[in-house]
Chains A and B, each alone.
Chain A
Amino acid sequence: MEEIDFRGKTKDYFGIWLSNLLLTLITLGIFSAWAKVRRIKYFYNNTEILGHSFGYHATGGQILVGRLIAIAILAIFSAISNQLPLEGQLVSPLAIFFLIPWLLNRSLNFRARMISYRNIRFRWHGTYWRTLLFFILGSFLSIISIGLLLPLISRNYYRYYATYHSFGTSRFTTETKIGDYYKAFFVNALAPALLLTCIFTLLVSGLGLIANNIVGDGVIPRIGLPFLPFTILIFIFVLPIIYGILCRNLMVASLVLGNDAAFGSELKPLWVVWISVSNLLAIIFSLGLLYPWAQIRLYRYLANKTSLEVTGDIDKFVDENTKSIGALGEEYSSLEDIDVSI
């Protein structure tokens, strides 16, 4: 297995981040489209497999035009909505809801086509109804089932994401068992998250108890209650990180590209939690200046714990002719925060 090598350095990326930020602020946000391209390019160009780095081919102009079109669409929807009576105003959100799968497909295709490796572009083949089912309705189903269907839905979600991507004309395949996702959720994610929450709650209650003995009655609730939201926050944030990483491991470890390459992922969920939390603290205490370091640190860990084994001929991949692809889908998705998180 060949480890994915990330050669990015904090001091190099710091310059890119800082100049992006300065130019974006000075140009009142216009430069952010080019900033986005420069940022992504830095990460992809410094990610190497078998001595070759990835390429990123979107341009700032494409991203800016996509953003302007997305803003225009939102403005049109908003203007139409304002002219309708209250009941009619539901039409706009409904129309946007049914537009989302199409936009997501455009977004995923745009992103995939903009990435290349050894002169072969990636591609997304998702269909409207599958995207609606796996990426959107699936989330509602897992909520309705109080999480009981979540592992089943996650398995289909990740499998759809992986198998509907291709490298040139070669499709990815993945075979995972539903039982693995149930085990990942209940045994490896829910249990540790509950345990962490319990430890934190007991710690807080213990402090309250000690304070109660020293100061007197009524101290416990006063000490414990302000911490309650933080206890809940731990549960809310730790669980998705742990479960997300476990799902990623399951998906990547079973990922195969044609008959030519197999992948591996050995991310440790608690280590990712540690990186995320310590990154956050570092950013807060450095007034944001350690943000580039935090990004590089997380990306390097994700890259280094992902591996690839070439089992066939890496020279035989071919691509279809590149068609021009607009950035509308991607930009609308970022505007509306309807990204697919993998």
Chain B
Amino acid sequence: MLASKILLNGEFFEANSSRSSPASIKIGDQRASVFRGDDCISKNIKIIDIQNQKNIYLENESLFVLNDKLTKQQLEPNITKFEKIIRWLEVFSFKRALILSAILIIIIVGFRYLFHSVSSTIVQIFPIKWEQKIGDNAYKGLKLATFKPTQLSAEKIKNLTSKAQKLIQFSGLKITPEIKFHKTNFYGANAFAFPGGPIVVTDQLVKVLKSDTLILAVIAHEIAHIRQRHSLHQIIKAAGATILFSVIFGYDESLIEEASALAISLWLSKKSREFEKDADLVALDILENSGLSKKHLVESFEKLVNHFCGNVDKSDPNTCLNDIETGWFSTHPSFKERLIYLK
């Protein structure tokens, strides 16, 4: 820590005391001896830490505060190479700050691309059983909170389940997620794919779409989510983004923390919209492979638009479509956009 032996003046604080007295300190080879006048009051004690270039903390819990800060030359000779690199990085100059900032931005951008490929690899090697466990737990939680027993007839359920299982066979999925039907007062006409299954279809969706083929088109979309493992992608991306933001900005100020959360949320919403679009396009393939028309997906969306527009007292679907355009925070692309790329 310190080069050759040097004698310096300052204040000496004995262990566990705030009382100080003028003294001098002889330091060298990371050890120190403290003198009051000619008397040596602490001999050859190990230096634990030097803070602020003037506060010398000793192993016997005493402190010596120098009158003047140690110079870099006095501090530097015995520090490790790693400490030297850190100190070099710490010293501010405009040119160095510019270069390091550029390196930092390159590293962050590099991380962004590295993270993309790493997250894909993690998704590939993540055991499907674990994913199914996550999905099962999430389903059970929602079932307790919002899902009620279905009121559809047993025959209708059997019929739809059987057709959906055939759809799964043509989807390329290696697992067979369960198809479950529930009544819900919270989600309305909707369907959900939990990670690794099950797929939940609400009674309201069955009633709104009526036709089995239209319901199957929506189920194909949910199967696509499971096949593409979108939920897992989303979980990994959320974790990665949160870690990166917390490394850069820490948790020091509430406003910055909130702004980080907002930025992550916006980015995840964008990712979610991309996943929805991907699921729509994969669903078209699944429908085609199973011998159903791709048009059914478009028809099901149109019917849902009419249903939602009817709920908000808008009879003209085109006017309604313009009004229900989604924003940055939306997890789904707007119906208008979906109908355009599906057609």
Give A18 to B107 CA distance when docked, in angstroms. 12
B86 → chain A closest CB, angstroms: 6
Can you list, as one digit per residue, whether each of A182-217 has a CB less than 8 Å from chain B (1) or not (0)? Answer: 000000000000000000000000000000000000
Sample of 30 A–B contacts (CB below 8 Å):
A15-B92, A19-B90, A25-B108, A25-B247, A29-B247, A39-B250, A45-B55, A46-B52, A53-B51, A55-B55, A82-B137, A86-B137, A86-B140, A89-B137, A116-B63, A118-B18, A119-B17, A119-B62, A120-B17, A237-B254, A276-B254, A279-B255, A283-B249, A291-B249, A294-B253, A314-B18, A315-B20, A317-B17, A321-B16, A341-B254
Chain B: CB-nearest residue to A89 = B137
Taking a contact as CB atoms under 8 Å apart, the answer to whether A21 and B248 are in contact is: yes
A52 in the interface (beta carbon within 8 A): yes
Taking a contact as CB atoms under 8 Å apart, the answer to whether A276 and B247 are in contact is: no
B57 in the interface (beta carbon within 8 A): yes
* Known contacts A298-B253, A320-B16, A53 near B107 by CB under 8 Å: no
A residues contacting B by CB (< 8 A) are 11-12, 14-16, 18-19, 21-26, 29, 32, 39, 41, 45-46, 52-53, 55-57, 82, 86, 89, 116-120, 168, 226, 237, 240-241, 276-277, 279-280, 283-284, 287-289, 291, 294-295, 298, 314-322, 334, 337, 339, 341
Give A56 to B19 CA distance when docked, in angstroms. 19
B residues contacting A by CB (< 8 A) are 13-20, 49, 51-52, 55, 57, 61-63, 65, 86, 89-92, 97, 100-101, 103-105, 107-108, 111, 133, 137, 140-141, 144, 243, 247-256, 258-259, 327
Query: Which A residues touch B252, using CB under 8 A?
Result: 295
Query: Which B residues touch A314, using CB under 8 A?
Result: 18
* Known contacts A18-B89, A45-B51, A291-B249, A26 near B107 by CB under 8 Å: yes
Taking a contact as CB atoms under 8 Å apart, the answer to whether B251 and A25 are in contact is: no
Query: Which B residues touch A14, using CB under 8 A?
Result: 92, 97
Query: Which A residues touch B15, using CB under 8 A?
Result: 119
Taking a contact as CB atoms under 8 Å apart, the answer to whether A334 and B100 are in contact is: no
Taking a contact as CB atoms under 8 Å apart, the answer to whether A52 and B65 are in contact is: yes
Interface centre among B18, B19, B254 (most CB of A within 10 A): B18
Query: Which B residues touch A321, using CB under 8 A?
Result: 16, 61
Taking a contact as CB atoms under 8 Å apart, the answer to whether A279 and B104 are in contact is: no
Taking a contact as CB atoms under 8 Å apart, the answer to whether A316 and B90 are in contact is: no
Give A283 to B252 CA distance when docked, in angstroms. 14
Give A163 to B249 CA distance when docked, in angstroms. 32
Chain A: CB-nearest residue to B263 = A284
Partner of B13, one of A46, A118, A237, A334: A118
Partner of A287, one of B65, B103, B105, B144: B105
* Known contacts A19-B89, A316-B18, A317-B17, A119 near B63 by CB under 8 Å: yes
B311 → chain A closest CB, angstroms: 18
Query: Which 7 A/B pairs are nearest by Cβ-Cβ distance?
Result: A19-B89, A119-B13, A15-B90, A317-B18, A319-B16, A45-B52, A119-B63
* Known contacts A22-B107, A45-B52, A237 near B255 by CB under 8 Å: yes
Give A26 to B92 CA distance when docked, in angstroms. 20
Query: Which A residues touch B140, using CB under 8 A?
Result: 86
Taking a contact as CB atoms under 8 Å apart, the answer to whether B251 and A334 are in contact is: yes
B46 → chain A closest CB, angstroms: 15
Give A23 to B91 CA distance when docked, in angstroms. 15
Chain A: CB-nearest residue to B97 = A14
B102 → chain A closest CB, angstroms: 11
A198 → chain B closest CB, angstroms: 21
Chain B: CB-nearest residue to A244 = B254
Chain A: CB-nearest residue to B257 = A337
Query: Which A residues touch B250, using CB under 8 A?
Result: 39
Taking a contact as CB atoms under 8 Å apart, the answer to whether A280 and B16 are in contact is: no
B290 → chain A closest CB, angstroms: 34
Give A41 to B57 CA distance when docked, in angstroms. 14
Give A337 to B257 CA distance when docked, in angstroms. 11
Give A266 to B200 CA distance when docked, in angstroms. 58
B319 → chain A closest CB, angstroms: 12
* Known contacts A57-B57, A119-B18, A318-B16, A280 near B52 by CB under 8 Å: no
Give A119 to B19 CA distance when docked, in angstroms. 9
Query: Which A residues touch B248, using CB under 8 A?
Result: 21, 288, 291
Taking a contact as CB atoms under 8 Å apart, the answer to whether B137 and A280 are in contact is: no
